[in-house]
Amino acid sequence: MPYYVYAVRPFAQLQLLAEFAAFAPASAHAKAQRALAPAEAGLRIKVMFADTALAAEDLLLALREAGPSGDE
């Protein structure tokens, strides 16, 4: 399965930046994009592991429950 690098902006605006076969180059590309990205409010660069770009987008848009609260 490939690794996808996305720019995620507020209001679920997704932009596919790149696709890689291995994690190391995907991570390096994401780190480089974070360093080059302007200080845009709400911009996040994410790496997703999925079968297809559509599956990666579904994972990025999925609502996640907060972890259990406890002694923090």
Domain boundaries, given as residue ranges, for the chain: 3-59
Cβ atoms of 1 and 48 within 8 Å: the answer is: no
Helices (H), 8-52: 23-36
- For residue 72, pLDDT beyond 70: no
pTM of the predicted model as reported, rounded to 2 decimal places: 0.83
CA atoms within 13 A on the CB side of 11: 1
- In the chain, the largest separation of any two C-alpha atoms, in whole Å, equals 39
What integer is the mean pLDDT of 3-17? 92
Q: Please tell me what DSSP assigns to residue 1.
A: -
Q: What is the pLDDT of residues 22-68, one digit of tens each?
A: 999 999 999 998 888 777 777 889 999 999 999 999 999 988 787 78
